[in-house]
């Protein structure tokens, strides 16, 4: 158990433990337990346990806080960890399956990142059932971490709610690699420090597993980098600002071309009721994504139009390779958004072997710095529906 000892004392402490449970919405419920069983580490109490619920007690030392929290979170049994104080940790927390972390409005400060899992197999079910409710998650540097704060890979049934995640413009607030059934709800992802004019890192990164898109996995095992995409990803009610805001990635050039095939395309990505800003690249870019919905969002790219495609507000693109068969069942739906971009506001295209399926662009207000006629462009789709949009020069 990583040289840690978990001792459950048989003595029931006569004290009142205030436990706050956070639902997957903004609401909260407060429950008072009449007793708790002490859990100790290094002869110090690190939590009071009631059933599967642990109320964490900070230890004062960053490394010991991380070790103690990981001790409480490890394993596959169902458990709820309540963080009821501000906490300093030295590096990543590594929750096990079936873990709920309730952090409320408390700040978790790390000298590196905050959440990571290391998969052992290239399967969506390798890691499952993680819920993070609340918390202000940040690096100890005022300029943020130039890396990934939350990296979740080969995982399913992941829910992140009401969390605020800070990182550097060169980093990622949340990185999802080869994940299925993920909801990011009512979160704020915001970059810190200065953004270079050519930075293209994204605050919410939706990745397939390849050596260039997931170098951390490649270092763990080359077998983990087989091009598995993400599917069934929902981002709603969020505020996101970065060099890129949200990006679904594609594999790189050269030896990575083998991952630009139909089986490596993301599917069923939904972004709704979000405010997304790109400072030096597209606010939202969905590459090699065969089905997606973006609706009721405010999308702004502040990149100068001289940056060409990086200045697009909302981009959907198939990149070079063997794309999925162009079918009307694969739908890109862009509805009721307010979009501001440079070269284009909305730009949909295919540079791959096949056209996109159905593309719907409806009810949007779209502005482009390059002019009204460039506000919306849809190329290379089997079926196109463009209706009831307002276009402007920005």
DSSP 270-286: EEES-EEEESSS-SEEE
β-strand 284-287 against 314-318: which pairing, if any?
Answer: parallel
Cα separation, 353 vs 320, in Å, equals 7
Cα separation, 242 vs 145, in Å, equals 13
pLDDT recorded at residue 254: 78
The answer to whether position 360 is within a domain reads yes
Query: Whole-prediction pTM value?
Result: 0.91
The answer to whether position 364 is within a domain reads yes
Asked if 339 contacts 389 with a C-beta cutoff of 8 angstroms, the reply is no
pLDDT recorded at residue 188: 98
Range of the domain at 384: 108-393
pLDDT recorded at residue 255: 81
Tokens for 328, please give them. 């009307």
Cα separation, 49 vs 216, in Å, equals 35
The DSSP H or E segment spanning 295 is: strand 292-295
pLDDT recorded at residue 31: 32
Cα separation, 53 vs 357, in Å, equals 47
pLDDT recorded at residue 35: 60
The answer to whether position 55 is within a domain reads no
The answer to whether position 225 is within a domain reads yes
Of 274, 392, 393, 263, nearest to 321 by C-alpha is 263
The answer to whether position 47 is within a domain reads no
Residue with structure tokens 């590459």?
A: 287
The answer to whether position 302 is within a domain reads yes
pLDDT recorded at residue 43: 92
Asked if 345 contacts 368 with a C-beta cutoff of 8 angstroms, the reply is yes
**What are the E-state strand segments in 162-201?**
164-168, 172-185, 188-192
* Phi then psi dihedrals of residue 253, to 5 deg: -85, -175
Encode the chain (394 residues) as per-residue pLDDT tens digits: 443 333 333 333 323 333 333 333 333 223 334 368 999 999 999 999 999 999 999 998 999 999 999 999 999 999 999 999 999 999 999 999 999 999 999 999 999 999 999 999 999 999 999 999 999 999 999 999 999 999 999 999 999 999 999 999 999 999 999 999 999 999 999 999 999 999 999 999 999 999 999 999 999 999 999 999 999 999 999 999 999 999 999 998 778 989 999 999 999 999 999 999 999 999 999 999 999 999 999 999 999 999 999 999 999 999 999 999 999 999 999 999 999 999 999 999 999 999 999 999 999 999 999 999 999 999 999 999 999 999 999 9
Q: In b/e form, how buried is each residue of 183-218, taking b as 16+ CB within 10 angstroms?
A: bbbbbbbbbbbebeeebbbbbbbbbbbbbbbbeebb
Q: Which residues pair with 370 in a beta bridge?
A: none
Cα separation, 39 vs 23, in Å, equals 25
The answer to whether position 94 is within a domain reads no
How far is the CA of 388 from the CAs of 334, 359, 362, 385, in angstroms? 12, 14, 6, 10
The answer to whether position 294 is within a domain reads yes
How far is the CA of 8 from the CAs of 47, 74, 360, in angstroms? 10, 16, 58
| pLDDT single digits (tens) 276-316 | 999 999 999 999 999 999 999 999 999 999 999 999 999 99
Provide the number of structural domains found in the chain: 1
pLDDT recorded at residue 19: 34
Residue with structure tokens 């940040």?
A: 138
CATH of the domain at 364: 2.160.20.10
Asked if 260 contacts 319 with a C-beta cutoff of 8 angstroms, the reply is yes
pLDDT recorded at residue 4: 39
Residues 6+ apart with CB under 8 A from 3: none
* Phi then psi dihedrals of residue 195, to 5 deg: -105, 120
| pLDDT single digits (tens) 38-62 | 999 999 999 999 999 999 999 989 9
Q: Tell me if residue 223 falls in helix, strand or coil.
A: helix
Of 290, 170, 274, nearest to 229 by C-alpha is 290
Residue with structure tokens 């300093």?
A: 88
């Amino acid at each position: 158990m990583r040289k840690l000892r978990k001792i459950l004392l048989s003595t029931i402490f006569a004290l009142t433990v205030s436990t706050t449970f956070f639902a997957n919405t903004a609401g909260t419920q407060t429950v008072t337990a009449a007793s708790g069983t002490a859990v100790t580490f290094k002869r110090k109490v690190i939590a009071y346990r009631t059933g599967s619920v642990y109320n964490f007690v900070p230890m004062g030392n960053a490394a010991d806080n991380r070790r103690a929290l990981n001790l409480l979170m490890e394993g596959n049994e169902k458990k709820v960890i309540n963080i009821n104080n501000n906490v300093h940790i030295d590096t990543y927390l590594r929750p096990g399956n079936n873990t709920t972390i309730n952090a409320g409005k408390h700040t978790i400060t790390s000298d590196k990142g905050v959440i990571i899992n290391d998969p052992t197999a290239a399967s969506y079910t390798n890691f499952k059932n993680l819920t993070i409710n609340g918390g202000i998650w940040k690096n100890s540097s005022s300029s943020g971490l130039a890396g990934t704060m939350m990296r979740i890979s080969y995982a399913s049934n992941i829910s992140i709610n009401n969390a605020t995640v800070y990182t550097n413009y060169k980093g990622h607030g949340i990185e999802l690699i080869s994940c299925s059934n993920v909801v990011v709800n009512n979160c704020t992802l915001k970059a810190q420090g200065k953004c270079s004019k050519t930075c293209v890192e994204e605050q919410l990164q939706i990745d397939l597993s390849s050596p260039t898109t997931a170098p951390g996995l490649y270092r763990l095992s080359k077998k983990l980098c087989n091009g598995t995409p993400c599917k069934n990803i929902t981002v709603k009610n969020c505020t996101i600002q970065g060099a890129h805001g949200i990006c679904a990635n594609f594999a790189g050039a050269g030896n990575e071309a083998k991952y630009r095939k139909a089986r490596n395309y993301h599917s069923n990505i939904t972004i709704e009721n979000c405010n997304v800003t790109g400072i030096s690249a597209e606010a939202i870019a969905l590459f090699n994504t065969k089905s997606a919905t973006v609706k009721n969002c405010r999308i702004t790219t502040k990149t100068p139009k001289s940056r060409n495609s990086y200045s697009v507000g909302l981009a959907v693109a198939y990149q070079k390779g063997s794309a999925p068969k162009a079918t009307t069942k694969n739908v890109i739906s862009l509805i009721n958004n307010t979009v501001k971009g440079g070269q284009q506001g909305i730009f949909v295209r295919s540079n791959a072997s096949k056209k996109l399926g159905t593309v719907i662009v409806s009810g949007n207000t779209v502005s482009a710095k390059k002019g009204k006629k460039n506000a919306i462009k849809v190329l290379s789709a089997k079926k196109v529906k463009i209706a009831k949009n307002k276009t402007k020069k920005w």
